[in-house]
Structure 1
């Protein structure tokens, strides 16, 4: 966590600062200025769901909601806090910061509706605004702010996955007597491997939004239901959790890749409830299986 804490903080300040400077410059190029930008939205863009139906909107909201609900990045950061009170303050600050940053992003993309009415790549709208409507210096700052956001998100996921590979698989099953030096080296090697694998997988998607929504749907349908049930449902069993993870992951692959999202329904709307149903169903059938003590899971005294 320490290795990315300072770079993440710098990236966050750069991101927010770049947007705060860019928004007044962009809104000044729109008739009516900042307030007029929201009062005179084109037809179809002036409602909560825009041109999307309710089901289509839920298809985008579901993956994001369940990703945030079980996001390992946040859980690791909360777990790294020095005490419970610090973690609670961090959580409250996170909610406030998230609302503020989302408001900045919405305002920026709203400016793009006016300045780029015929855009064909909405996933790059901020980059297009930076290049076409801002002075070179400010455009560069805005693009750097966006890249900092992408990089901090990417390195956080790479770090968490490499940590899982190192401690949950390699150290637990393959190299139980690993030295401290090996435990420092292996995450670095696995992080490079994870990054290369992510790049190769990204090549199969047409744009950033597609790979993002697929990843969010996969995580939200497989990991989050099992995590939520493990924390809040006392009768959920280990077998039920594993089956729920497999059901959510395989269901997402089948719905998105094999069936090609029939009727335009996004996979998360189907696979998230399905994963919960599998967890509870299998758990109900395996209630009398032997429970696993925490000491066996973590390999130490947790009392």
Structure 2
């Protein structure tokens, strides 16, 4: 345990809590829309930062590092590639998403498919996003336990409390601004760490030469099907991630939404490439690391980086995890409020009441996520499960809303139900045959159900697609 690391981590947490307290003031936060969309007036640079920090969390800093440590930097390109590919698609959909300005993804689905599809979608998002929040708690616990006397369980509980406070206090205002600060910290830390770690090995040539044999191959020893099983869940989640859609809705206008997506694309490379290099370098410097989840973080905790840079790296990693967790808690709290409560009330819910109810929903999400995290020992394992259930059940229907006018309610519903059922059977009944991630079989089933169900039934009349 290095005192500098502890001081920097404490300083970061104090700063985040201060931002949350500042934006919790009534002058900033008055209605449910303020809580979920920051009044739809986020500056462009803050929007870029919050898009980046929302997406890059424990799944990248911990789960992605595990993959790069185990299979090498080249194979990790397949793991991370879903992010830039998905952002390119979002770039072309950004203006339309801002114009639609829906509260949640199920809200968007109802416009096209009706209430039944909305409710199925809301349940699926609830399951997936609580899982994603859970592995943010676990990832944050790893970091805190590395540099403090706290056990992983105690550290996870501490992170859960901090995250919950930030999400409940200032809503999207505090989440977006803490995201922006976190993005600056992690980018500086990662870019400063790469040359220092490569220097500790010797030179770039020494780094490449000393990688384990399979880590020097393009596949990392995995089959093409296995690589696809890691690539698809990330891609499918980002294509229809409710978090990102809500941030684009929080933009000032449609032009800001699209230009912010371009900045998000550029920033993703600045994060992913250094993580792949650092995690694979850890396989050389720390070849017997017991927990590959901590591949990047151990470079700091084991003293392989100067104390100040290591502290920034740990703080930046924790920053992204904390901000990603707050984002998902805020988002799925919105599902509880708007999809399960407001949608079924006969009378209008006033803005202040929505604010109070949204905060209560976030508290419920925090408790459920903490409990779920106790059943998954690996961040990477929980990450792939959560991404896949979202990707096979939600993404095909959402993309069809945006890009395929022939899609029908029957097709969307069949896609959601059969995709999810296939995932559950493959993972929990059959035990993942041939070590293929469930997305390999669940996605084709979901897509076939969407297309076949749509072609065999009649689309809703155009006049019914508009919300009342």
Q: What's the TM-score, normalizing by structure 2? A: 0.60
Q: Higher relative CO (CA 8 A, sep ≥ 6), structure 1 or 2?
A: 2
1:204 matched residue in structure 2: 375
Instruction: Specify whether residues 93 and 39 from structure 1 end up closer, same or farther in structure 2 by C-alpha distance, changes over 3 A only.
Output: farther
**Among candidates 60, 65, 76, match of residue 230 of structure 2:** 60
Relative distance call for 1:47 and 1:234 in structure 2 (3 A) is: same
Match of 1:161 among 326, 332, 339: 332
Q: Give the CA deviation at 1:290.
A: 6.1
How far 1:268 sits from its partner (Å)? 0.6
Q: Which runs of 4+ in 1 moved over 4 A?
A: 288-292
Cα separation, 2, equivalents of 1:292 and 1:279: 22
1:17-39 deviation line (CA, Å, top 9, x unaligned): 1212222322221132x453235
**Residue 127 (1) aligns with residue 297 (2):** yes
Structure 1 match to 2:448: 277
Deviation at 1:40, TM superposition (A): 4.2
1:92 aligned partner = 262
**CA–CA distance in 1 between the matches of 2:299 and 2:285?**
8
Question: Is contact 1:73–1:157 with CA below 8 Å preserved after alignment?
Answer: yes
- CA shift in 2, pair 1:292/1:240, >3 Å: farther
Any stretches of 5+ residues in structure 2 without a counterpart? 1-36, 39-172
Given that 2:279 and 2:296 are in contact with CA atoms closer than 8 Å, whether structure 1 keeps it comes out as: yes
On the 8 A contact 1:217/1:268 being kept in 2, the answer is yes
In structure 2, the CA distance between the partners of 1:237 and 1:288, relative to structure 1 (3 Å rule), is closer
Correspondence 1:1-303 to 2 at 5 A: 1-2=37-38, 3=173, 4-32=175-203, 34-132=204-302, 133-174=304-345, 176-287=347-458, 293-295=464-466, 297=467, 299=468
Assess if the C-alpha contact under 8 Å between 2:190 and 2:271 holds in 1: no
How big is the shift at 1:108? Answer: 1.2
Inter-partner Cα distance in structure 2 for 1:261 and 1:144:
36
- Distance in 2 between residues matched to 1:8 and 1:176, nearest whole Å: 35
Would you say the 8 A contact 1:37–1:110 is kept in 2? Answer: no
**Shift, 1:289, TM fit:** 5.9
Which piece of structure 1 moves more, 34-43 or 226-235? Answer: 34-43
**Structure 2: distance between partners of 1:25 and 1:51:** 28
Query: Is the 8 Å Cα contact of residues 59 and 269 (structure 1) preserved in structure 2?
Result: yes
| Contact 1:248 1:272 survives alignment (8 Å) | yes
CA–CA separation in structure 2 for the residues paired with 1:163 and 1:145: 27
1:158 CA drift (Å)? 1.3
Cα distance per residue 1:60-79 (max 9 Å; x no partner): 01111111111112211122
Give the CA deviation at 1:151. Answer: 1.2
Distance 2:222 2:282 in 1: 18
1:62 and 1:72 map into 2 onto residues whose CA distance is 17
Q: 2:459, 2:305 → 1: CA distance?
A: 65
Deviates more, 1:269-278 or 1:134-143: 134-143
**Structure 1, 260-269 or 39-48: larger mean CA deviation:** 39-48
Q: Can you list the C-alpha shifts for 1:108-139, whole angstroms capped at 9, x where unaligned?
A: 11221211112232111122211102344332
Aligned residues: 296
Change (3 A) 1:71 1:289: closer
